[in-house]
Amino acid sequence: MNLDRLLERFCRYVKVDTTAVPNAGRYPSSAGQRELGALLVDELDDLELEDVEQDAHGLVWATLPSNARHQVDAIALCAHFDTSPETTGKNVRPTVWKNYDGGDLTLPGNKSLVLRVADNPAMKEYVGKTLVTTDGTTLLGADDKAGIAVIMEAIAYLVEHPELVHGPVRVCFTCDEEIGHGVDHLDPKKLAAVCCYTLDGSGHDLIDVETFSADLAVVTVRGINIHPSIAKGRMVNAIRAAARFVELLPKEMSPETTDGRDGFLHPYHLEGGVAETRMHILLRDFTDAKLVEQEQLLHRVAAQVEKEYPQSQVDVQVAPQYRNMAGGLAKEPRAVAYAELAHKNLGRTAERTIIRGGTDGSRLTELGVPTPNLSTGEQNPHSPLEWCCLEDLGAAAELLVELAQVWAKEGR
> Quick count: other Cβ atoms within 10 Å of Cβ 226?
14
Q: Report which of 40, 25, 51, 66 is spatially closest to residue 152, judged by C-alpha positions.
A: 40
The neighbouring-strand residues paired with 207 are: 352, 374
Active-site annotation holds for 351: no
Contact (CB, 8 A) for 274 and 338: no
Topology of domain 3-211+324-410, CATH: Aminopeptidase (3.40.630)
Phi then psi for 402, rounded to 5 degrees? -70, -40
Distance CA(314)–CA(272), nearest Å, equals 14
pLDDT confidence of residue 397: 98
pLDDT confidence of residue 412: 59
Distance CA(156)–CA(402), nearest Å, equals 14
Q: What is the pLDDT along the chain (412 residues), one digit of tens a residue?
A: 899 999 999 999 999 999 999 989 999 999 999 999 999 999 999 999 999 999 999 999 999 999 999 999 999 999 999 999 999 999 999 999 999 999 999 999 999 999 999 999 999 999 999 999 999 999 999 999 999 999 999 999 999 999 999 999 999 999 999 998 999 999 999 999 999 999 999 999 999 999 999 999 999 999 999 999 999 999 999 999 999 999 999 999 999 999 999 999 999 999 999 999 999 999 999 999 999 999 999 999 999 999 999 999 999 999 998 899 998 999 999 999 999 999 999 999 999 999 998 888 999 999 999 999 999 999 999 999 999 999 999 999 999 999 999 999 986 5
pLDDT confidence of residue 184: 93
Instruction: List the CATH code of the domain at 213-322.
Output: 3.30.70.360
pLDDT confidence of residue 410: 84
17, 143, 144, 177: the catalytic one is 177
pLDDT confidence of residue 357: 85
pLDDT confidence of residue 358: 82
Distance CA(42)–CA(278), nearest Å, equals 44
Active-site annotation holds for 177: yes
82, 178, 210, 366: the catalytic one is 82
pLDDT confidence of residue 411: 65
Tell me the whole-structure pTM to 2 decimals. 0.90
195-202/373-378 β-pairing: parallel
Give, to the nearest 10 degrees, the angle between helix 390-410 and helix 3-14: 110
Distance CA(216)–CA(226), nearest Å, equals 32
Who contacts 212 (Cβ-Cβ below 8 Å, separation ≥6)?
263, 284, 285, 286, 324, 355, 356, 357, 358
- Domain residue ranges of the chain, discontinuous segments joined by +: 3-211+324-410, 213-322
pLDDT confidence of residue 26: 95
Q: Report which of 371, 274, 360 is spatially closest to residue 79, judged by C-alpha positions.
A: 360
Distance CA(355)–CA(325), nearest Å, equals 10
Distance CA(348)–CA(403), nearest Å, equals 13
